[in-house]
Amino acid sequence: MSPAEGTVLVTGGTGYLGSWCIATLLERGYDVRTTVRNLAREDEVRAALAVAGADDPGDRLTVVAADLTSDDGWAEAVTGCRYVLHVASPFPPAQPKDPDELIVPARDGALRVLRAALDAGVERVVMTSSIAAVRAPEGSRPDRPLDERDWCDGNDTSLTPYVRSKAIAERAAWDFVRAEGAEDRLAVVNPGLIVGPVLSSDFSYSVQLVERLLGGKVPAAPKLGFTYVDVRDVADLHVRAMTSPEAGGERFLATDRFLWTSDTAQILRDRLGDQARKVPTRVAPNFMVRAMGMFDPAIRTIVGDLGQKTEYSSEKARTTLGWTPRPVEDAVEDTARSLLDRGVVAVS
């Protein structure tokens, strides 16, 4: 792939997934432009690429300022770009009291990026959504793994603001491109819980489960489960959806396997040996987790999921785009080793 084939804009260049998308694109020969809210963070973007093993991109990477909450900078950011990966979106460690703190920037930010991209003649935008936007409510789930046909109701106020924001933002994006007659210029990737090597101490909230287990921050594993996917595989799927003619106007789930927290803990013990000595061996009763949630906002957001198992299918991404994620055990191990290597977790 030659850089002459085009420049790709990646929104949210300092983020966990954004950094890996940039590294993947550069490795495959693309020039990359990325957005940050503050240009003072350009050094962080380049430092993360070095940790990812990327060669110094020099002027093949440019950094520009743009914020999801403002129109300023987006027209300039997309000018001359062939593709856009819209990765930036709020993902807080705790849910805000006002849902609009998440919903408005997620929805309006996606529309700002799409509007600017279509106006600039971008061939395709790949938007990062989440399996949160796919998750059907209890009692209405089909008797099969959930897939791209399924949606959660973003107007359901019983859902967390984060879940609602993902569904509302993705719905708004599809409605916008359909109204513009440009549905084939959008593709959406819906990842599960993203894990994998961290590139800095400023890593995604999605990695905190492994960090807490490895650091002994929980006395026992809660009866919680997640459908994992490696960040490097999510970046790969974004690039596949960006260039494949079959991807236009389509959603793609990026998931591997469901694991209970106790399964994740077992992988850490099996793969890391003595370095995993702080990982809990017991399963926490649900009442204990609920009690912990009274004092820990991060735990409070997930108590409603205790004991629930939801299966998702990524067959569409595998068959349509030839996507093959690495085994979830390897993703969990690589997450843990990177946390240790970066000094985020100390086990001594």
Distance (Å, rounded) from C-alpha 126 to C-alpha 24? 15
DSSP string computed for 196-262 = S--SSSS--GGGHHHHHHHTT-SSSB-S-EEEEEEHHHHHHHHHHHHH-GGGTT-EEEE---EEEHH
3-state secondary structure of 192: coil
| 166 labelled catalytic | yes
Are the C-beta atoms of residues 206 and 16 closer than 8 Å to each other? yes
Q: Give the sheet arrangement for strand 193-195, strand by strand.
A: 193-195, 225-230, 258-260
**Selected catalytic residue, list 166, 223, 309, 316:** 166
DSSP string computed for 126-146 = EEE--GGGT-PPTT---SS-B
Are the C-beta atoms of residues 27 and 54 closer than 8 Å to each other? yes
Cα distances (angstroms) measured from residue 120 to each of 103, 106, 188, 288, 303:
26, 21, 20, 53, 44
3-state secondary structure of 73: coil
- Dihedral sign for Cα 239, 245, 247, 250, please: positive
Distance (Å, rounded) from C-alpha 186 to C-alpha 80? 18
The pair of three-digit structure tokens given for residue 59, joined into one six-digit string: 């002027």
- Positions marked catalytic: 166
